[in-house]
Amino acid sequence: MTGNGPGDNELAAMKEGAIVVAHMNALANKKDVQAMANAGITAIAMELMPRITRAQSMDVLSSQSNLAGYKAVLDAASEFGRAFPMMMTAAGTIAPAKVFIMGVGVAGLQAIATAKRLGAVVTATDVRPATKEQVESLGGKFLVVDPEMEKDAQTEGGYAKAMPPEYFEKQKKVVAEHITKQDIVITTALIPGRPAPVLVTEEMVKTMKPGSIIIDLAVEAGGNCPLSELGKVVKKHGVKIIGHENVPARLAEDASALFAKNLLNFITPHVDKEKKTLSLDWEDETVTGTCITRDGQVVHPLLTGQEEDEKAPVKEAGEKQAEESKPADSKDEESDTKKP
């Protein structure tokens, strides 16, 4: 069991039939998946865990995206040159910071809650109309793009679908007008196996106020802003654009503890207490839904082309993260997502 899938050296040292349980990022690393199949490894990709009630405690995307959303706001506050809450003093009044969250998955929801606790005025948007109530329940205001198109923007599992080009054109117009008034923008949109959708264009960045902040939780998948750079804090057109790599790992102790608990909750039902051995139940959907290689073959439907891409979970950058575009939440994908 590990945070990441095995590298070439690790794979070469494993015996045929070994079981590897990890965050594989399988949909984006198909060559690595095939290499594990060729080595005779049984590989379990935890990021593909089915979104069912029984599997919630095993969901690595949710646990890691939650941390990513929280840390994203703290990173923004650290880089921002002003206070978050309104402050009324004898010397004058400080206006509250305006925070815009793009993608209301797990990472996005946690970002909303954290920004509100710090006293910011928060708005958020997502392709799934069901997230409007979630945003408002946390004290945020929901920014609607196209109510009609958004009616069919969610899969049966509650994930965000990839939207048609015309939706993104409308989104650009709505967001472009809104973003000029924002101090901080946090993006969390990820779609497994595909480049992250561009949500904040360079033209939008040019219209933002000097000193504004963009946190791109999807930077590892290409970014929701084309100006973001992986692992760097850059300044473009007077705006700081933050593209930290593996954001949950910036809270390493909590990320590792939650990830370990996810793994424990997954394997515990499959431990033979009498023989003290691991015996996977191949009729259990938490196993069939996450197993990507077995008996020398790639077996997961999303990797063999037997299942429609739109049924793949949306990660949040953050989500890991993010999925929860989502981020996904439904669960995200927010950020998607991210490994401890």
Exposure on the CB side of residue 185, measured as CA atoms within 13 A: 30
pLDDT at 180 over 70: yes
Q: What percent of the chain has pLDDT over 70?
A: 85
What pLDDT is stored for residue 311 in this prediction? Answer: 45
Whether 51 is a known active-site residue: answer yes
Whether 56 is a known active-site residue: answer yes
Which residue in 8, 32, 34, 51 is the catalytic one?
51
What pLDDT is stored for residue 334 in this prediction? Answer: 42
What pLDDT is stored for residue 325 in this prediction? Answer: 38
- Dihedral angle computed from the Cα positions of residues 200, 203, 205 and 209, in that order, rounded to the nearest 10 degrees: -140
Could you tell me the pLDDT band of residue 191, with boundaries at 50, 70 and 90?
confident
Whether 62 is a known active-site residue: answer yes
Q: Say how far apart CA 258 and CA 63 lie, in whole Å.
A: 6
Q: Say how far apart CA 21 and CA 6 lie, in whole Å.
A: 10
Whether 78 is a known active-site residue: answer no
What pLDDT is stored for residue 153 in this prediction? Answer: 60
**Residue-averaged pLDDT of the chain:** 87
Q: What is the tens place of the pLDDT at every residue in 303-317?
A: 987 654 444 444 445
- Dihedral angle computed from the Cα positions of residues 300, 304, 309 and 315, in that order, rounded to the nearest 10 degrees: 40
What pLDDT is stored for residue 166 in this prediction? Answer: 82
Which residue in 59, 75, 329, 336 is the catalytic one?
59
Q: What is the tens place of the pLDDT at every residue in 129-178?
A: 788 999 999 999 999 877 776 666 655 555 566 677 787 788 788 889 99
Q: Which of 159-163, 283-287, 331-335 shows the lowest per-residue confidence on average (mean pLDDT)? A: 331-335
Which residue in 110, 128, 159, 336 is the catalytic one?
159
CB atoms within 10 A of CB 310: 14
Q: What does pTM read for this prediction?
A: 0.83
Q: Tell me the residue ranges of DSSP E strands in 248-315.
A: 271-272, 277-278, 291-294, 297-298
Q: Which of 219-223, 253-257, 278-282, 311-315 shows the lowest per-residue confidence on average (mean pLDDT)? A: 311-315
Q: CA 295 from chain center: how many Å? A: 31
Which residue in 34, 56, 57, 256 is the catalytic one?
56
Whether 70 is a known active-site residue: answer no
Write out the two tokens for 153: 């923007």
